[in-house]
Amino acid sequence: MLAGISEKSYAAEARYTNFYAGGDIAWSKDGHHLYCLNGSAVNQVDVQTSQILKSYGLTSSSGNNKKPAELDNIDVEEDTITCFGLSQEHLVTAHRSGLLRLWQLGTGKLMKLWKAQHKGPVIRVEFSPCGRLICTSGGADATLKLWDYSNNSCLGALKDFPGPAWLLVFHPNVLRKEIYAGGSDNAVYAWNYETKTLVHKMRGHLSQVTGLSFKSNASDCNEIVTVSRDKVLIVWQLQEQLESKQLKVLPLYEELEGVVYTDEGEQIIVASGSGKLQQVNGKTWKIRDILTQSDFQISRLLHCTELKQLALVTTEQNILVYDVTTVAPIKHLVGYNDEILDMCFMGDNDRYLAIATNSKHFKLYDREHDMNCKLIVGHSDTVMSLAASQNLLISVGKDCSVRLWRLQHDKDCSLEALTQQANCHTSTIGCVAMTHNGATGFASVSQDGSMKVWQLARDKEDRNLYSFNLRYAALSHDKEVNCVAYAPNNKLIATASQDKTAKVWLAESNTLQGVLRGHTRGVWSVRFSPVDQIVLTSSSDCTLRLWSISNFACIKRFDQECTILRAEFLDHGKFIISAASDGLLKLWNIKTNTCLQSLDEHNDRVWALAVSARSNRFFYTGGADSKLIRFGDVTQVTRNEALDQRQATLEQEQTLHSLLHAQKQLHKAFVLALNLDKPKASFDIINHFVRKRDEPGLRQLVDQLNVDQRVALLQHVKAWTTNSRHSHAGNMILKYLIGDALQDPKARFYNNGNMVEVLTPYVQRHFKRVTELNKELAFLEFIVKCM
C-alpha cells in the first residue's frame, strides 16, 4: 500500500516569480538585498539567489495591521504603493490612498500607519541618515513634509519651491541638517530642516534633474554633482549665499538617468538612458566610455559602496550588477518575465536553461550559479521557440528568422551567434526541434501550415564555423502547426496542428507515414516515447492520447478538465507529465492509466515544460503567470516519510494497547487514542470513568485537551452517538464541550452548524428513548405502590 502511495511524486523545489514591476528600487547597505516595488508590495530579494525573502505590503502577515477607526472608508484591497523609502531598520511605503505605512525590516511587521496630508498621492519618500525622520513629497502640491514617526508628529512643511519634487535626497552626514529636492523648474533646492530655511539654490539644468550625488559623507562636503535629461552634468560648489557655484559643466550628449561618486570622490559614474555608462575623472574632467549596452534602456543607477558594485535597472525590469573597478558583469536579476513561451536545457549535465519570454530577447539561466541570467540579443521580434542539442541552440520567432547559437566555454552563461537566415518562413515560426544525440539537423514549423527540415553542417577546415541548408519543405497541415518533434533515432518527425490531427513523417524525405486522427479540437503538442514505439499528443479537447507507430491507432486516452497545452514523458517513458490551461500539472502512470499527482503551483496557462534528459529527476515549468518553477523528484523522500510515520503510528498503537491493558496513565492513553483516531479506545477510557462515577476525573480528562484534540474528541462523540449503548458517555462529553463553548467565546473551536446538524437527530432520539424509559419506570413504581 505504501508503494502505491509513493509510486512517483514531485514537489516544487524553487520558484522564480516576478518581484519588480517598475518604479522605486533600493539596495541595502551591505549589498545582499534589493528592495523592489511590485504593485501593492515591496519585495526583499536576495541578490545572490534572486529569491523573494519577504514582502512588505497589504498581503504580508503582521501583528499590527489593523486600520484605525478613522480610516475605515479607505479601500485597503486596492491601495497600491506609489513609492517607498529605506533605512537600516525600517521601510516606509506611500500608498495611493494617501496613507504612509512604517514596516520593521527584520520582522516584516507593520509598526505605524498615518495620513500623509498631501494633495494627491505621495511620489517621493526618503529617510534621513539617522533613520528617525521621514520626508515626503506630494504629487499635486509644492510641499515637502517632515515626519518624526517615533513621536507621531509632523515637524513642518517646506514650501519655498515649485513642486512636485521627483528627486529627494538628504545630506549623507547626520550633522548637516540639509535636504535637497529637484523642483519642477529644473532647479535643485536645499533646506536646513531644523530651521526650515532655504540655504541653497542651484539653477543650470534645462530639463528635469534625474540624479544627484555627494562627493563624500563628511560634514564639510560642499561638492555635489547633478545630471539631467538635458544631456548635461554639472558639478556644484555649495556656498554660504543662496546661489551655488558651478564648478564644471560637461555636455555628455546623452539623456542622463543617474550619477554616483566612486573611488572616494575621485571618479564620477554617469548612466544614460540609452544604456551607456561613462566615467568622468574628478580632477582632469576627462570622459571615458566604460560600458555600452545599446540593447537596453536604463531607468536607474544604484551604487553599493561596501561591495563596490553598480546596478543598472532597465526599463524592462532587469537588474544588471557590475563591478565598479573592472565593470565586469557580476549578476543579472530578472524582475519581470512576462509570459514564458518556451524553454529548453543545454550544456553539459543540462547546466543551462534557455527561456523565451514574449520578448525579442531570450534569457539564458545558469542553474549551477544561483540561476544567474544573461539576456541574449539578436532577434528583431518575439522569440517563440527554442531547441538545443548539447552546446548548440536554435531560436525562432515572429521575425521569421532562424538563428544558431553556441555556448562559449571561456565565459559563463554566454552564447555566441554562429549564423542566421532571415525569411525562412512566410509566417511566424511557432516551433523548432533539433535531432537527438548530436546536432545534425533541425525542423521548423510555421503558422502558415508548412514544415521545413534543415541540414546542419560544420566546416571541415574551421571547426568553429557552422551552416545550415534547407533539405526539403512540405505543406504539412491545413492550419497552423503548433509543435514538431524528432523520434529518438532521428528517423521520424511528428507534427501537431490546429486542424485536429498529428502526422508522422520520414525525416529523410517529406514522405507522410501516417495521420493520427481522433482529437476533436486542435492538437497542441506531440512527443515520441524514449523507449516504446508510441507517440503522445495533447489537445484542446482536454485529452492526452497515446498512439501506436505501427498502425497509427489510439491505444490509450487520459482525460483532464481543460485544454492540455504541453505533455512530456518522464522516467524513461513510464510516466507522463501534462500542463493545462488552468495552470494544473498532472502526473500520469501509463501502465495503470491513473493520475498519481496534481501539482497546483501556477495560476494561469502553462506554455513551457522542460524535462532534464540527463537525470530525468527534475523539470521546469513556465507560463502566462510569469512563474518559473523547478520541480524535483521526491519519491524516495515521500516513501521514507510514509515509512517513518507508519513506524511511529505502530509504536503509539503499541503504547496505547499497553496502557489500556494495564489500566495505567489513562490521561496519556486518552490523548493517544485521539491522536490515532481510535474512537473505540477513547470510549473505553471514558466508560471507565463513567462506571466509577468519577465525574471530577472525567472533567479533568477533557480539560487537559488542546483545541485540535477537542475537535478530534468531537468527531469521536459523533461516532458514539450513533449507538444507543454509547449515548450516555457521549452526552456527558458533549455537556463539557458545549458548556466550555457557551461560557468562553474563544473556545468555539468547531463548526457549530455542522455539529448541530450531525448531533441533533441522535440527541433527540436518545432523549426520547430516555423519556419513555422514565415514564415506564414511573408507571411501574405507581403499580407497586398501589399494590
Asked if residue 260 is part of any domain, the answer here is no
CATH of the domain at 416: 2.130.10.10
783: DSSP letter = H
User: 781 or 293, which is more confident?
Assistant: 781
C-alpha 527/C-alpha 504 separation (Å) is 11
CB of 46 within 8 A of CB of 664? no
* Residues 617 and 720 placed together within one structural domain of the fold: no
| pLDDT recorded at residue 1 | 41
C-alpha 34/C-alpha 54 separation (Å) is 11
32: DSSP letter = S
Tell me the pLDDT tens digit for each residue of 395-443. Answer: 999 999 999 999 988 788 889 999 999 999 999 999 999 999 888 899 9
Q: Span 88-108, mean pLDDT? A: 92
* Residues 677 and 629 placed together within one structural domain of the fold: no
Asked if residue 626 is part of any domain, the answer here is yes
CB of 119 within 8 A of CB of 79? no
306: DSSP letter = T
Beta-carbon contacts of 173 under 8 Å, excluding residues fewer than 6 positions away, are 129, 217, 218, 219, 221
Residue 460 Cα distances to 320, 393, 465, 693, angstroms: 39, 20, 9, 99
* Residues 675 and 618 placed together within one structural domain of the fold: no
Tell me the pLDDT tens digit for each residue of 223-248. Answer: 999 999 999 999 999 888 888 889 99
Phi, psi of 224 (to 5 degrees): -130, 160
Q: What is the DSSP string of 699-716?
A: HHHHHT--HHHHHHHHHH
* Residues 374 and 469 placed together within one structural domain of the fold: yes
pLDDT greater than 90 at residue 91: yes
CA dihedral 62, 67, 73, 79 (to 10 degrees): -30
Beta-carbon contacts of 45 under 8 Å, excluding residues fewer than 6 positions away, are 19, 20, 33, 34, 35, 36, 51, 52, 53, 333
* Residues 748 and 629 placed together within one structural domain of the fold: no
CB of 76 within 8 A of CB of 59? no
Beta-sheet strand order (sheet of 584-589) = 564-570, 575-580, 584-589, 594-600
C-alpha 514/C-alpha 517 separation (Å) is 9
CB atoms closer than 10 angstroms to residue 221: 17
Tell me the pLDDT tens digit for each residue of 696-747. Answer: 877 777 777 777 777 777 777 777 766 666 666 777 777 677 666 555 555 5
CB of 348 within 8 A of CB of 392? no
- Pick from 47-61, 81-95, 332-346, 736-750: least confident: 736-750
Tell me the pLDDT tens digit for each residue of 152-198. Answer: 899 999 987 887 898 999 999 989 899 999 988 999 999 999 999 99
Omega before 164 cis (within 30°)? yes
Asked if residue 590 is part of any domain, the answer here is yes
* Residues 628 and 670 placed together within one structural domain of the fold: no
* Residues 522 and 629 placed together within one structural domain of the fold: yes
Asked if residue 297 is part of any domain, the answer here is no
68: DSSP letter = P
User: 490 or 708, which is more confident?
Assistant: 490
Q: Can you read off the three cell numbers belonging to residue 391?
A: 552546446
**Average pLDDT for the chain:** 86
Amino acid, res. 417: A
| pLDDT recorded at residue 74 | 45
* Residues 702 and 593 placed together within one structural domain of the fold: no
| pLDDT recorded at residue 738 | 67
C-alpha 331/C-alpha 580 separation (Å) is 33
Q: Span 496-520, mean pLDDT? A: 93
Residue 648 Cα distances to 175, 397, 654, 664, angstroms: 64, 56, 10, 21
Q: Please give the tally of structural domains in the chain.
A: 2
Q: Which of 615, 633, 651 is the last residue of a domain?
A: 633
Q: Which of 633, 654, 678 is the last residue of a domain?
A: 633
764 confidence band (pLDDT: 50, 70, 90): low
Q: Residue 256 is inside which H or E element, if any? A: strand 256-262
Amino acid, res. 439: A
pLDDT greater than 50 at residue 575: yes
Beta-sheet strand order (sheet of 512-517) = 481-486, 492-497, 501-506, 512-517
C-alpha 232/C-alpha 253 separation (Å) is 7
User: 782 or 93, which is more confident?
Assistant: 93
Beta-carbon contacts of 602 under 8 Å, excluding residues fewer than 6 positions away, are 583, 584, 585, 621, 623, 625, 627, 629
C-alpha 562/C-alpha 583 separation (Å) is 10
pLDDT greater than 50 at residue 68: no
Asked if residue 197 is part of any domain, the answer here is no
* Residues 440 and 569 placed together within one structural domain of the fold: yes
* Residues 589 and 690 placed together within one structural domain of the fold: no
Write out the residue range of the structural domain in which residue 430 sits.
342-633
- CA nearest neighbour of 211 among 234, 192, 191: 234
The label of the residue with cell 533646506 reads 191
Residue 403 Cα distances to 295, 449, 560, angstroms: 18, 21, 36
Residue 487 Cα distances to 82, 435, 619, 686, angstroms: 53, 8, 20, 67
Q: Can you read off the three cell numbers belonging to residue 757?
A: 446538524
Q: Can you read off the three cell numbers belonging to residue 642?
A: 510514509
Asked if residue 290 is part of any domain, the answer here is no
- Pick from 65-79, 557-571, 702-716: least confident: 65-79
Q: Which of 633, 648, 683 is the last residue of a domain?
A: 633
C-alpha 245/C-alpha 461 separation (Å) is 65
Tell me the pLDDT tens digit for each residue of 444-456. Answer: 999 999 999 999 9
Asked if residue 467 is part of any domain, the answer here is yes
CB of 587 within 8 A of CB of 599? yes
- Pick from 30-44, 74-88, 367-381, 414-428: least confident: 74-88
106 three-class SS: coil
95 confidence band (pLDDT: 50, 70, 90): very high
pLDDT greater than 60 at residue 66: no
User: 690 or 443, which is more confident?
Assistant: 443
* Residues 557 and 410 placed together within one structural domain of the fold: yes
Q: What is the DSSP string of 658-675?
A: HHHHHT--HHHHHHHHHH
* Residues 379 and 493 placed together within one structural domain of the fold: yes
Q: Span 457-485, mean pLDDT? A: 88
Asked if residue 97 is part of any domain, the answer here is no
